[in-house]
Amino acid sequence: MPAPPSHGLCPRADGLAQVQGALSQGVAKLGDERDVFNRPVIFIRARRHFPGNQAADERLAVYLLERAIERLGEEGEQVCARSRDRPLRPPPSTVAHGRDGEGRSPRTADEPGPASRAPQVLGVFDMDGFTAANVDPGFVRFVVDLFFVYYPKRIGQVVFVNAPWLFRPVWAGIAPGLGKYARLVSFVDEGELGALLGEEGMRGYRSGA
């Protein structure tokens, strides 16, 4: 089982003052607009993360996810506390590569699709400008665990936008541990992202890019 993050996810993550530095660097943000399925959207700019900043960027990721969950009407610590009673790693299943490994559209955590019963969050990794200097499997692993392990069923979908081939080996080392959650991850271009975010959401995506 993966070790818990060093700064702890339960109880609550750090407050705004503790993440202001990473937030001001534009590493990640919580969008003002929701996607076409009415989900809050967290944007992560991969090119602005560097391995030496992992601890600060991890705290920011936790902070933003909890703020997104609050928009859904649930406190982050309550959701996280329930996750303690579940296995930390989902059972093995088919691993997704490319879009979902079989060319099918990604699904959300609660079948049959994005319009699930439970309110959820969309995670968007902006991979434009990603270089070898940004490669940090530990940070990607942390965010994936944060989304799917510590806050199960709160993340409806995760998309990597314009991911370069440089990132594929990193993802290949992470995807096998996702099990059934691998179906919730897809690699898209900006046109496909626009279908998820809508016009207003795309303005938020490009804002501060």
Which H or E run includes 31? none
* Percent of the chain residues past pLDDT 90, beyond the cut: 27
Number of Cβ within a 10 Å radius of residue 176: 11
Q: Where are the alpha helices (DSSP H) in the chain?
A: 16-24, 54-71, 76-83, 137-145, 168-174, 190-206
Whether the CB-CB separation of 180 and 93 falls below 8 Å is answered with yes
Q: What digits encode the pLDDT tens for the residues 107-166?
A: 444 443 444 456 799 999 999 989 999 888 888 888 888 888 888 788 899 999 999 999
Residue 155, both tokens: 């993340």
**What's the token pair of residue 156?**
């409806």
Burial level of 172, CB count in 10 A (0-12/13-18/19+)? exposed
User: Could you give the domains of the chain?
Assistant: 16-206 (3.40.525.10)
Distance CA 58, CA 5 (A): 9
With CA atoms as reference, report the closest residue to 125 among 101, 104, 146, 95: 146
Element (H, E) at 32: none
Beta bridge partners of 28: 44
What's the pLDDT band for 41 if we cut at 50, 70, 90? very high
Please tell me whether residue 126 adopts helix, strand or coil conformation.
strand
